Amino acid sequence: MVSLLLVTTVKHVNSAPAGLDSATRSAISAKLDKAEGKRGTAGCVIVDLDTGETLLSRNADNALTPASNMKLVTTITALSQLGSDFEFTTRIFGNGNVEGGALKGSLCIIGGGDPNISGRFQNDDPLALFKDWAAQLKKAGITNVTGDLEYDSTLFGGEAFCDGWPQDSQYIQWYCAEVSALAFNDNCIGIRVVPTSAGKPAKIEVTPETSYVTIVNETTTAPGKKGAEIGIVRPRDGNTITVKGKVYEQATWGYFTDVTIHDPAAYAATVLKETLAREGVSVQGTIKPVTLTNEDVKQRKLLVEHKAPLLEALKPILTNSQNLHAEMLFRQLGLRYSGKGTFKTGRAAVEAFLSEQKLLTEGIHIEDGSGLARDNRITCNLLVKLLKRVAAGDHFDAFQAALAVGGETGTLEKRLTDSSVQGKVFAKTGYINGVRSLSGFLFTGKRRYAFSMLMNNCVYTKQMQDEIIETLAKAAE
């Protein structure tokens, strides 16, 4: 069942500047009409970056739900407010003296809001950084910790889960991961269901292996064809994961999915403790949450410091549409703006930036940083103006490199494959039920365009969006 968005809109007649021939304007308008159908609203703005001319404008100032095009607002705000040289810093401190290979006290890891403590940049080994940190501890002469492994994730505050996100069972899906200043493996665990022999339970593998979750295996291996029929359940406030259903004998690769974790900071600390032990650094105590003051930190010795650049974090957000990364950046913006990193302060930070840029027009509402929340409202004009400013700024090469490329990478890998546009579109997609968006750049070799399309309650959305870009590209030849 398709849910309809309650968006109040006023449809405007297309503008018709001289920079786009009438046949092309008519063709694009017809595709927008088709997308709108009987009850949809399609916003579209196309601007020539070289002349500054607005080539087409339709419902340009209607405040529409953007889905993941909200990530463009979040990342552009971050580049402006945090700066391209911003780094996320994760630190491990020791509390006590080192004697005979033993730290006579506790270790404490302090989360700095780094979204990429994972295998993403580590040859797909989610434990690679933890192993490196173990090596640094051993280099400092520590192979045993007599106290606890403490963790401080209080850099961010407020709720871990946005009220505007889906409130049904989708909370176990990767795109609904809880937000924490100490994050690990996208705050998910990998679940693979592998067939054994017909009639016997399937084998369940978890990545990374950890005691933090409890797996309940209610699967069976079925004879015959390839494939799997698997359901996964986790209570909202717990980490007992029940795997149900069947996987067929011939399904060699089995079934794989990522499942979110409750209380991800504790998850990160648990897996760190387990990894340290395997790497030769045993921690005798337990996992313990703490809140350290600046004075507390000064009394401890820095043992490990890991820095990760903001620019490195942009690509998972813009190419792969990683929601958690966008939300962690949203919290960083709130922290910079008000001293507290919450959903509320993140909203205030983004709205303040838009107001400063004179883009906070009537009807615009910021609910989250990723676009998962259905109550976000922005306009095509806002997005195109932000894109124009990025294109004229110092960080454009890095920003462009972070976007999905039509017909080649990320969420656009299987879209915009026509030879007229493949490799020439650098854009951000967006999708939630009833919403499809696409905003970014088209570089034909002869012309450079910025564009935004926000479609609410429309039909044939991907097809019409792609055909509009193809039409524009062919007209520029």
- Cα torsion angle, 78, 79, 81, 87, sign: positive
Q: Using an 8 Å Cβ cutoff, are 148 and 344 in contact?
A: no
Q: Tokens representing 374?
A: 């259905």
d(CA 195, CA 228): 9
Q: What is the pLDDT of residues 172-223, one digit of tens each?
A: 999 999 999 999 999 999 999 999 999 999 999 999 999 999 999 999 999 9
DSSP state letters, 365-414: B---SSS-STT-BB-HHHHHHHHHHHHTSTTHHHHHHHSEETTTSGGGTT
Q: Is the pLDDT of residue 4 over 60?
A: no
Identity of the residue numbered 241: I
Say if strands 448-456 and 435-443 run parallel, antiparallel, or are unpaired. Answer: antiparallel
Give pLDDT, residue 122.
Answer: 85
Identity of the residue numbered 249: E
Q: What is the pLDDT of residues 258-305, one digit of tens each?
A: 999 999 999 999 999 999 999 999 999 999 999 999 999 999 999 999
Chain-centroid distance, C-alpha 442: 23
Q: What is the pLDDT of residues 101-137, one digit of tens each?
A: 999 999 999 999 999 999 988 889 999 999 999 999 9
* CATH fold of 22-83+312-475: Beta-lactamase (3.40.710)
- Confidence at 1, pLDDT banded by 50, 70, 90: very low
> In terms of C-beta distances under 8 Å and separation of at least 24 residues, what long-range contacts does 130-134 make, across chains too?
130/271, 130/272, 130/275, 130/276, 130/279, 131/275, 131/279, 133/92, 133/272, 133/276, 133/304, 133/306, 134/275, 134/276, 134/279, 134/280, 134/281
Burial of 10 (0-12, 13-18, 19+ CB in 10 A): exposed
**Average of per-residue pLDDT values in the chain:** 95
Q: Tokens representing 257?
A: 């999915």
Which parts of 263-339 are beta strand (E)? 282-283, 287-289, 301-309
Give pLDDT, residue 102.
Answer: 97
Average pLDDT value for residue range 160-182: 97
CA nearest to 9, candidates 58, 66, 62: 62
Q: What is the pLDDT of residues 424-469, one digit of tens each?
A: 999 999 999 999 999 999 999 889 999 999 999 999 999 999 999 9
Q: Tokens representing 125?
A: 């080994």
Q: Using an 8 Å Cβ cutoff, are 48 and 443 in contact?
A: no
Q: What is the pLDDT of residues 139-152, one digit of tens each?
A: 999 999 999 999 99
If phi > 0 it is left, if psi is from -120 to 50 it is alpha, else beta; for residue 280 that is left
Q: Tokens representing 263?
A: 């209380």
Give pLDDT, residue 12.
Answer: 42
If phi > 0 it is left, if psi is from -120 to 50 it is alpha, else beta; for residue 97 that is beta
Same fold across 22-83+312-475 and 87-159+264-310: no
Q: What is the pLDDT of residues 34-72, one digit of tens each?
A: 999 999 999 999 999 999 999 999 999 999 999 999 999
Bridge partners for 217 per DSSP = 243
What residue segments make up the domains of the chain, in order of their start? 22-83+312-475, 87-159+264-310, 169-260
If phi > 0 it is left, if psi is from -120 to 50 it is alpha, else beta; for residue 17 that is beta
Give pLDDT, residue 374.
Answer: 97
Give pLDDT, residue 281.
Answer: 98
- Confidence at 11, pLDDT banded by 50, 70, 90: very low
Which parts of 261-322 are beta strand (E)? 282-283, 287-289, 301-309
Helix intervals (H) in 403-460: none
Give pLDDT, residue 253.
Answer: 87
Tell me the CATH number for domain 87-159+264-310: 3.50.80.20
Could you give the dihedral angle defined by the CA atoms of residues 384, 389, 393 and 396, in that order, rounded to the nearest 10 degrees?
-10
Q: Is the pLDDT of residue 9 over 90?
A: no
Residues of the chain with pLDDT > 90, as a percent, come to 92
Q: Is the pLDDT of residue 7 over 80?
A: no
Q: Tokens representing 416?
A: 């915009």
Q: Using an 8 Å Cβ cutoff, are 297 and 95 in contact?
A: no
